[in-house]
């Protein structure tokens, strides 16, 4: 990605991602995308190919923004609890900053499966979720080998935390408040004791 003449592809994808987050794949028309991008249909097709290809590019960008930082934190964690808490709090704060956004990659995946976007969107969303789960499992396994965790399967802990994060995104959209989220976070962190 990058620049294509005077057209900044990355910046355009960033602007248009909001449409998918707020309206979903089906609710976002090609005309909506053209309006946000301030380009004509020929320019759009030259830069992105199709709406589906654009949604895949937006999903990749979303995954990079939502997955890369947590993965880096977890892969380099010296202590598991502060690292897990940092990742969870970052995700909570991102959703609190803009609770009207959908659940990013997972929202796109759930919606795109049956409306023409094709299975590749869903597969990429699942892959992004699996990357976070894998990073969690790896960090938890390293912590277990240092005796920093109670007995248990690191993969099961990782799956629980991944599910918890998905649930936090739903709660964030419901705007149930900070104390609700903090209570849930405290319970999730106790699972590591």
Q: What is the pLDDT of residues 127-176, one digit of tens each?
A: 777 888 898 899 999 888 888 888 889 999 999 988 888 787 777 666 67
Residue 55 lies in a domain: yes
Domain total in the chain = 1
Closest residue by Cα to residue 15 from 26, 46, 48? 48
pLDDT surpasses 70 at 186:
yes
Per-residue pLDDT band at 99 (split at 50, 70, 90): low
Residue 29 lies in a domain: no
pLDDT of residue 147: 87
Per-residue pLDDT band at 1 (split at 50, 70, 90): very low
Residue 21 lies in a domain: no
- pLDDT, one tens digit per residue, over 104-125 is 444 444 444 444 444 566 677 6
CATH of the domain at 55: 1.10.357.10
pLDDT surpasses 80 at 103:
no
Q: Residue ranges of the alpha helices (H) in 28-118? A: 30-37, 41-48, 51-75, 80-97, 105-112
Residue 65 lies in a domain: yes
106 vs 50: CA distance, rounded Å: 21
Closest residue by Cα to residue 41 from 24, 56, 29? 29
- pLDDT, one tens digit per residue, over 78-92 is 888 999 888 888 877
3-class DSSP assignment, residue 63: helix
Question: Span 4-8, mean pLDDT?
Answer: 58
187 vs 173: CA distance, rounded Å: 20
80 vs 130, 148, 153, CA distance in Å? Answer: 19, 8, 15
Residue 8 lies in a domain: no
pLDDT of residue 2: 42
pLDDT surpasses 80 at 182:
yes
pTM > 0.75: yes or no:
no
16 vs 100: CA distance, rounded Å: 15
pLDDT surpasses 70 at 58:
yes
Q: Residue 87 sits in which domain range?
A: 50-190
Residue 110 lies in a domain: yes
């Amino acid at each position: 990605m990058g620049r294509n003449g005077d057209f900044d592809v990355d910046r355009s994808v960033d602007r248009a991602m909001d449409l998918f987050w707020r309206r979903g794949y089906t609710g976002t028309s090609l005309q909506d995308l053209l309006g946000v991008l301030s380009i004509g249909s020929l320019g759009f097709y030259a830069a992105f190919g199709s709406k589906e290809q654009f949604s895949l590019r937006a999903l990749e960008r979303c995954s990079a923004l939502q997955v890369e930082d947590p993965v880096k934190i977890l892969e380099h964690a010296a202590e598991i609890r502060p690292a897990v808490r940092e990742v969870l709090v970052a995700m909570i704060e991102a959703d609190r900053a803009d609770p009207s956004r959908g659940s990013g990659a997972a929202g796109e995946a759930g919606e795109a499966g049956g409306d023409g976007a094709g299975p590749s969107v869903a597969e990429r969303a699942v892959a992004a979720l699996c990357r976070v789960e894998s990073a969690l499992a790896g960090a938890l396994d390293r912590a277990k080998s240092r005796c920093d965790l109670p007995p248990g399967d690191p993969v099961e802990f990782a799956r629980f935390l991944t599910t918890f994060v998905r649930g936090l995104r739903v709660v964030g959209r419901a705007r149930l408040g900070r104390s609700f989220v903090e209570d849930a976070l405290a319970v999730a962190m106790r699972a590591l004791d």
